[in-house]
């Protein structure tokens, strides 16, 4: 159970990292240096490193198939955060995709 919680934390951190990269991409920069070396990008890559390390720790006691199922939660987290932070619309096809991911997680957790 501890490994599952570590993996879920890892997924949340990785999702946050992707949101920070999107936030940076939406900003206008004066030059390429600022585009790739600003606070959002640096923090995002640090978070991504932390997420990777947590994932490695979690996989010591998890099956790969369990990890893949948990990792799919990131699609849901990113869709929700994008809706609230960037006002991105959740289209009908995105909503169906999210429902299918949730159904897959439920089916995988039962089996």
- Residue 6 — pLDDT band, cuts 50, 70, 90? very high
Q: What is the pLDDT of residues 11-56, one digit of tens each?
A: 999 999 999 999 999 988 888 888 888 999 999 999 999 999 999 9
Q: What is the pLDDT of residues 71-87, one digit of tens each?
A: 999 999 999 999 999 99
Domain range list for the chain: 2-110
Q: Cα dist. 78→19, 42, 50, 63, 73 in Å?
A: 7, 19, 18, 24, 9
> In this structure, what token pair is assigned to residue 105?
């997680």
Global pTM exceeds 0.75 = yes
Q: What is the pLDDT of residue 108?
A: 85
Top pLDDT among 1 and 43 is at 43
Under the banding of pLDDT at 50, 70 and 90, the label for residue 111 is low
């Amino acid at each position: 159970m501890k490994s599952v919680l570590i993996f879920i934390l890892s997924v949340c951190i990785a999702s946050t990292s992707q949101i920070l990269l999107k936030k940076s991409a939406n900003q206008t920069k004066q030059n390429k240096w600022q585009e790739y070396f600003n606070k959002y990008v640096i923090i995002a890559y640090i978070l991504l490193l932390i997420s990777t390390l947590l994932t490695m720790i979690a996989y010591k006691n998890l099956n790969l198939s369990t990890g893949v199922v948990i990792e799919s939660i990131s699609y849901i987290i990113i869709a929700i955060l994008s809706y609230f932070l960037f006002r991105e619309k959740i289209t009908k096809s995105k909503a169906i995709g999210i429902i299918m991911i949730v159904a897959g997680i439920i089916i995988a957790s039962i089996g």
